[in-house]
Amino acid sequence: MNYKNDFCELLSLALDGELEKSKLLKLIEKPKYSHLGDLAFPCFELSKQYRKPPQTIAIELAKKIESPLFEKVEAIGGYLNVFLNKKVVSNLVARSVVTQRSHYGTNNLGNGDVVTIDFSSPNIAKPFSMGHLRSTVIGNAIALILDKCGYKAVCINYLGDWGTQFGKLIVAYKLWGDENTVRENPIRELLKLYVKFHEEAEFDPQLNEKGRAWFKKLEQSDEEAISLWEWFRGESLKEFSKIYDLLGIRFDSFNGEAFYNDKMEYVVEILKEKSLLETSDGAEVVTLSEKGLPPCLIKKSDGTTLYATRDLAAALYRQKTYNFSKSLYIVGNEQSLHFKQVFAVLEKMEYQWHNGLFHIPFGMILKDGKKMSTRKGKVVLLEEVLSEAIGLAEQNILEKNPNLESKKEVASAVGTGAVIFHDLKHYRQNDIEFSLQDMLRFEGETGPYVQYTHARASSLLRKGRYEEDIDSVRIEDQDSYTWEVITQLMEFPEVIERSMEGYDPSQIAKYLIELSKSFNKYYSAVRILDDEYNKHSRLSLVHSVTIVLKEGLRLIGIKAPEEM
């Protein structure tokens, strides 16, 4: 229900279509204070065009704007303020939510276009750290939001399964590893070996040479090197799958870096054909000075390829395979230059679809103000954080609701929800200080607070024996608490659209907090079940809230338990 659009249509008619609707829509705002109305149109920009004071324009427009949706239209201080008809709008909003259920807020802006989303992408043979959480949950939420907006999201996990680090790991395993110990706890043991390699290499630089030599063997398909690499990769995928299952995240492709080994030469050939390759200090590069960027390195002087070569091959493969209209890369801020270079090279290669490539950057999770480092062993393992969060949730359930059925299932939903929500409530480009205490709080602006609000509302429906009947949905109350909830429900479709346009799941997370706060105020102030005459009306509103909270949580990858 977007009454902004209705207001925009009436404004356009009142102005005889002299201003574009898109421009009018951008100017319409929500007043800071409720006594100034529900929608406002500032007339200051029209002042020059019409050569009249803004207040005069507002007064003239007020006389022309009429609709059964509007209770009052008034001109104040150069603004045209609109007050919605509470009774009419409340009923329209509640009926719309209950009728559409989980489809409320769905739109078809994507028109079925394919969007590939490259996210998560952990390195194999290393544990899934908190450092990889951001790409994983931001990417998953963006995929769900794009699907909601009529796109077909293709989720790609571009695994870090190739590179010199695997030569180093093979050296470490051969020097200090034990097969049985590694088989018992593969990821943890492989991390220990990786950290030990870097500690020892500080005193013995020859180790780095040995690492490079083993990676060369890997590239040349040496039987022992390939066997160890496949083992490391297989064990990693098993461990990662446990975490993805816990977080409820699915992928359409696990094609990692190694998948593109035989596809990079094709890229090099095209660059040669188009005369884009130049030699610089023995290396082959594409110059990008016209874009104000440093050269993009395609091949080192020793003939080895780089990340850019691989990303170019991946972009070509994905366009051919999926025919995407957009391709998103959910990768940290520090890779911004890399993606500018890759996109600029594709533009020079004259691929028109380069315009659909977007790097969606995000800030880091910091520990004590510093970036986490796998090499130095300074990582916080996501599995441990999730396990602790779920344990705390289970403890809370045992204290507050010991008779709850499916305790473990609810604890899992609440614990993982706490971790996901803590990340997504922040704007993605901001850094986040890792704090287990903040993440696991079950009150305030947290995931468990929103989940508990949903459970509380669901409990009211059970106690009130509410039976859904679309024809009987009605909102009788016109108090400020009811209206605050209605205006929040009304905003949901617009919030989804904004989060899609900015690739910004925090818009939905923040919205869910505000809706929860409004509902909890309503719950405290209104006797929902005590007044038999108004009970069905009030439960219709409660039912609408459960629908929107559940769908909003789903869009950011979180479950909504009906009991907690």
What does the pLDDT read at residue 472?
83
Closest CA to 421 of 299, 230, 520, 553: 553
Q: Is residue 440 part of a domain?
A: yes
Same domain, 42 and 168: no
Task: Please give the chain's pLDDT, 564 residues, in tens.
Answer: 678 999 999 999 999 988 899 999 999 999 998 899 999 999 999 998 899 999 999 999 999 999 999 999 999 999 999 999 999 999 999 999 999 999 999 999 999 999 999 999 999 888 888 878 999 999 999 999 999 999 999 999 999 999 889 999 999 999 999 999 998 888 889 989 999 999 999 999 899 999 999 999 998 999 999 999 999 999 889 889 999 999 999 999 999 999 999 999 999 999 999 999 999 888 999 999 999 999 999 998 877 778 999 999 999 999 999 999 999 999 999 999 999 999 999 999 999 999 999 999 999 888 778 876 655 556 677 888 999 999 999 999 999 999 999 999 999 999 999 999 999 999 999 999 888 778 777 788 999 999 999 999 999 999 999 988 888 888 999 999 999 999 999 999 999 999 999 999 999 999 999 999 999 999 999 999 998 889 999 999 999 999 999 999 999 999 999 999
Same domain, 182 and 311: yes
CATH number at residue 322: 3.40.50.620
Range of the domain at 41: 3-84
Q: Is residue 273 part of a domain?
A: no
Q: Is residue 443 part of a domain?
A: yes
Q: Is residue 59 part of a domain?
A: yes
Same domain, 449 and 542: yes
Same domain, 76 and 150: no
Q: What is the residue-wise DSSP string for 263-308?
A: THHHHHHHHHHTT--EEETTEEEE--GGGT-PPEEEE-TTS-B-HH
Q: Is residue 467 part of a domain?
A: yes
Joined together, the tokens standing for residue 330 give: 């959910």
Q: State the alpha helices, DSSP H only, in 359-406.
A: 382-400
Same domain, 425 and 549: yes
Same domain, 474 and 519: yes
Q: Is residue 561 part of a domain?
A: no
Same domain, 547 and 489: yes
What does the pLDDT read at residue 305?
75
CA distance 404 to 502: 40
Per the rule left: phi > 0, alpha: psi between -120 and 50, beta: everything else, 155 is beta
Q: Parallel, antiparallel, or unpaired for β 432-433 and 39-42?
A: unpaired
CATH number at residue 25: 3.30.1360.70
Same domain, 457 and 310: no
Joined together, the tokens standing for residue 57 give: 């324009």
pTM over 0.85: yes
Per the rule left: phi > 0, alpha: psi between -120 and 50, beta: everything else, 516 is alpha
CATH number at residue 547: 1.10.730.10
CA distance 558 to 417: 5
Same domain, 63 and 133: no
Q: Is residue 105 part of a domain?
A: no
* Domain boundary pick from 36, 60, 84: 84
Q: How many domains, in total, are found in the chain?
A: 3
* Domain boundary pick from 313, 345, 371: 371
Q: Is residue 563 part of a domain?
A: no
Q: Parallel, antiparallel, or unpaired for β 296-299 and 370-371?
A: unpaired
What does the pLDDT read at residue 378?
60
Same domain, 426 and 400: yes
User: CA dihedral in degrees (308, 310, 316, 321; nearest 10)?
Assistant: -150
* Domain boundary pick from 371, 396, 412: 371
Same domain, 348 and 482: no
Helix (H) or strand (E) holding 156: strand 152-156
Q: Which residues contact 238 (CB under 8 A, 6 or more apart)?
A: none
Q: 123 - beta bridge partners?
A: 160
Same domain, 471 and 400: yes
Q: 329 - beta bridge partners?
A: 118, 359
